[in-house]
Amino acid sequence: MQIRKALKDFNQSDYWIDRKPLDSLRSFFHQSYPDLSLIPPFYCDHGKNISIGRHFQGNTGIVILDEAQVTIGNDVFMGPNVSLYTPIHPLSASIRNKDLEMARPIVIEDSVWIAGNVIINAGVTIKKGSVIGSGSVVTHDIPEGVFAAGNPCRVIRKIDEKENDIWQRLYKEYLCG
């Protein structure tokens, strides 16, 4: 399959010097933009079921099993070793052993940050502006503007204006030295 060659070429590339292997890989995606940043290694099943918005930042070791549509919004950051799994297998061994598989889409809306070693399961939507903590296993939808973490992942708290004010102040201090 051509996607396998594109994955191999990208994963063995000097991605920081030569963007051609990344551009080749991107050509298999349903949608993506030139400002996509992705650090190898990366793996996907097909690529054609993946849509990625503008200003995507993907750290090393991302795995997307895209048997169903995976939609990633604008300004999404993913830490290392994030896995998105759309396939679903039957719990019953007698049915599972017949190689039955289904898949459900995953949606990650705009301005979401997914920290390292997070697993996102089939059928999940993570709403705009949310943050998923390291090591979480996301098995259900996450509402807008919250910090969620754990196994299973659950909402810890809402991200409020006070949080924004603190980071804006730190950002200004950083810029001004």
The predicted-structure confidence for 139-152, as pLDDT tens digits, reads as follows 999 999 999 999 99
Could you tell me which residue, 54 or 176, shows the higher pLDDT?
54
pLDDT(53) > 80: yes
The structural domains of the chain, with segments of one domain joined by +, span: 2-176
CA distance 177 to 149: 33
Take residue 20 and report the two structure tokens written for it: 């051609």
Mean residue pLDDT across the chain: 95
d(CA 28, CA 12): 18
* Active centre residues (catalytic): 89
The CATH class of 2-176 is mainly beta
Question: Do residues 13 and 5 lie in contact, with contact meaning Cβ atoms separated by under 8 Å?
Answer: no
DSSP, res 10: H
Please state the pTM of the whole predicted model.
0.92
Q: What is the per-residue pLDDT across 119-128, written as a single tens digit (0 to 9) for each?
A: 999 999 999 9
For residues 5-34, average pLDDT: 94
pLDDT at 97 over 80: yes
13: nearest Cα among 65, 60, 48: 60
Instruction: Look at residue 173 in the predicted model and tell me its pLDDT.
Output: 83
What mean pLDDT is predicted for residues 94-111? 95
